[in-house]
Chains A and B, each alone.
Chain A
Amino acid sequence: MAFVNWFKRRMVVIAGLLTLAYLLLPNVVVTVFSFNKPNGRFNYEWQQFSTDAWKDPCGVAGLCGSLSLSLQIALWATLGATALGTAIAFALVRYRFRARGAINSLIFLPMAMPEVVMAASLLTLFLNMGAQLGFWTILIAHIMFCLSFVVTAVKARVMSMDPRLEQAAQDLYAGPFQTFLRVTLPIAAPGIAAGALLAFALSFDDFIITNFNAGSTVTFPMFVWGSAQRGTPVQINVIGTAMFVVAVLFVLASMVVGNRRNRRKA
């Protein structure tokens, strides 16, 4: 009976932790198999421990090239989408204008559209325009689908901002530009940063839209896709593991710094 009660009280916790395990299991597998030395072309079965792939992460033709291309595209797409999206978010929250409903739907629809539909229609456009598929078409597509997410993230932040803060700045002799620079931007910064981070992650990891509009250009997700047909090199796992570790360390470090800053100030 005591056990049943204990279990009942902790049912949610246990279920939640099981889900967390489900979410993390593939990452564990990816990490473990980055130390594998597979027989044959595919890295799906455990053979023996080896650090070969870690010693030579770029040892597979085209892998690191595709990685660097993906990083570049993600960077530019983030910059573009963040700039355009932030401007839209400010306009939506701060101003009154015509056609607000239509603009809101235009921003919502890309998020409610299956990627394959957007990918196919964009390809139709590019083909009809006779555009050369490659870096630029990928970048255009990425900015397009990241834009809405940036708008949503920034809008949430700007909406929760007290309009009196900007009025106070104006009241204290700050002109429109100074007000934006000294008050609006610093306060909206966390929202903009969140939007930018999301855009980066979405762009870097995008496969479906990229696959349609890349032509013969190969981004990192496309390289992984191709290798799933031809043979998966262990280096893919190495890079996957490294990205996971870097992301976790990055977040942990920023949390530690944030905590310390708060403690010093308090």
Chain B
Amino acid sequence: MSTLTEAPPPLTPTAPEQKPPRKRGRWTPYWLLLPGILWLVVFFAAPMIYQASTSVQTGSLEEGYKVTWHFATYWDALTEYWPQFLRSVAYAASATVLCLLLGYPLAYLIAFRAGRWRNLIMILVIAPFFTSFLIRTLAWKTILADGGPVVGVLNTLHVLDVTSWLGWTAGDRVLATPLAVVCGLTYNFLPFMILPLYTSLERIDGRLHEAAGDLYARPSTVFRKVTFPLSMPGVVSGTLLTFIPATGDYVNASLLGSADTGMIGNVIQSQFLRVLDYPTAAALSFILMAAILAMVTFYIRRSGTEDLV
């Protein structure tokens, strides 16, 4: 008796005697892999190593840089920019939680309750992708504008008083505050949460809900004990797909935030493209990468879905 948490067996049973062919075309896989893997090695892996070496160089733009194993750059970068690091993680984590809270009902709706509207709603979730995300992010400037309807309503309900007290907003402004940045991040990465959630919810056999109900589970218990555990793969990949890009993002902080909401992406961007302090920029981006890999690894271990990768 296999457990219910396992994926449903494939419709066409495979004979156990079957194995992929081996001898014929022994070199074929290598030829197939070569161009793409080479591309990734040269333009993804090599730059990472290159950047690591840049981060321990000293010198100046005019005289050129030399590898001097100057690890102090890391220390300097951390002491100077730790608020931005903390902010990045805090904003990205808040946006991820919001994405999960907002995205789950919609994914659930599409998977189980939408009926013949399912395709239409799917289109509406995906279609905004095709309008440049920068244009859509700029639209939030209008939506959250000072004295606009959203701010007006929040003001009337005294919500802004609370959020200002918490430091999320400033006075009767939403724009140029942490709230606006998190709102933008949430909006931008919401589809990356909804799609994996939907994929794993859609795989759940509807009869499992009936079976749970038949075994005396109330609707809320069915959700807690059956639906949610079975959607864990979607929750894990959704949170990763939201958290990782949100941490490195600088577009929302630039467009919707202020100087006080700068994230680590903003620092890296300006160090690289304006200040031209390459070692510091490289060190910062290396720290970011290492931090994210560490957090992701820890998270995947904890959630017990290592096979996801």
Contacts and interface: CB of A to CB of B under 8 A. Distances in A.
A124 B47 contact: yes
Given A24-B124, A114-B289, A106 B45 contact: yes
Contacts of B309: 104-105, 108
B33 interface: yes
Contact of A124 (B41, B190, B278): B278
A23 B139 contact: no
Given A23-B190, A112-B292, A88 B51 contact: no
A27 B131 contact: yes
Contacts of B130: 201, 204-205, 243-244, 246-247
Contacts of A252: 123
Nearest to B250: A116
A121 B28 contact: no
B127 A112 contact: no
Interface stretch (B153-161, B209-217, B267-275): B267-275
Interface in A203-249: 204-205, 207-208, 211-212, 220-221, 224-225, 228, 232, 236-237, 239-241, 243-244, 246-248
Contacts of A147: 36, 39-40
A107 interface: yes
Interface in B247-292: 247-251, 255, 265, 268-269, 272-273, 278, 281-282, 285-286, 288-289, 292
Contacts of A225: 134, 251
A116 B134 CA distance: 16
Contact of A208 (B25, B124, B251): B251
Contacts, number: 261
B22 A12 contact: no
A114 B32 contact: no
Contacts of A113: 244, 289, 292
A19 interface: yes
Interface secondary structure of B, over-half rule: helix
Interface secondary structure of A, over-half rule: helix
B273 A212 contact: yes
Contacts of A20: 106, 121, 124-125
Interface of B: 12, 18, 20, 22, 25, 28-30, 32-33, 35-37, 39-41, 43-48, 50-51, 54, 102-103, 105-110, 113, 119, 121, 123-143, 145, 187, 190-191, 194, 240, 244-245, 247-251, 255, 265, 268-269, 272-273, 278, 281-282, 285-286, 288-289, 292-293, 296, 309
Interface of A: 12-13, 15-20, 22-27, 29-30, 33, 44-45, 84-85, 87-88, 90-91, 94-97, 103-110, 112-118, 120-125, 127-128, 140-141, 143-144, 147-148, 151, 162-164, 176, 201, 204-205, 207-208, 211-212, 220-221, 224-225, 228, 232, 236-237, 239-241, 243-244, 246-248, 251-252, 255
18 contacts: A13-B113, A16-B109, A17-B106, A26-B128, A91-B29, A104-B309, A109-B44, A113-B292, A114-B292, A121-B48, A122-B44, A123-B272, A125-B50, A144-B43, A207-B251, A208-B251, A221-B133, A246-B130
